[in-house]
Amino acid sequence: MSKGSKQRPTSSKFKDNYDKIKWGESKWTPPVKEVRKKVHHIMPDIEPYRAVAGEDAKKGVYITSRSSEREYLKRNNCVQVGNEKDYFFKYDGKSHDNPTKNWNK
């Protein structure tokens, strides 16, 4: 068969199986759509972790809640990875540790 040929295969195995097909009404039914209920998502509190920056790290302080994490980050002038976009765009990609404008080229 050439590429693009629409001939059916002519082997005896194909013919035998083709003859076994029961042509008639299908018993197939379309799948039922799952109905999803609207529910509230409750975000759990963070897992406690040990502070790694500033005086808190020297004292061995554990951060145990989101509010204490926000205070800790603000107190030590830190940001979470992935949350720094506002700062990046606000200052056109420049910061005290990255003064060049086209550093990523």
| Per-residue pLDDT tens digits for 22-79 | 777 777 788 888 888 888 888 888 899 999 888 888 899 999 999 999 999 999 888 7
Show the domain range for 78: 49-90
- Whole-prediction pTM: 0.42
Q: Which letter, b or e, does each residue of 74-93 get, where b requires 16 or more Cβ atoms within 10 Å of its Cβ?
A: eeeeeeeeeeeeeeeeeeee
Domain presence at residue 13: no
Q: What are phi and psi of 7, to 5 degrees?
A: -75, 145
Let me know: does 77 contact 84? Beta carbons within 8 Å.
no
Domain presence at residue 27: no
Domain presence at residue 85: yes
Domain presence at residue 74: yes
Closest CA to 97 of 82, 88, 105, 89: 88
Could you give the CA distance from residue 72 to residue 49 in angstroms, rounded to a whole number? 12
Domain presence at residue 16: no
Let me know: does 101 contact 94? Beta carbons within 8 Å.
yes
Domain presence at residue 15: no
pLDDT, position 80:
80
Domain presence at residue 24: no
Domain presence at residue 57: yes
Could you give the CA distance from residue 92 to residue 95 in angstroms, rounded to a whole number? 9
* Alpha-carbon distances of 3 from 9, 10, 40, 49, 70, rounded to whole Å: 14, 16, 55, 63, 64
Q: How many domains does the chain have?
A: 1
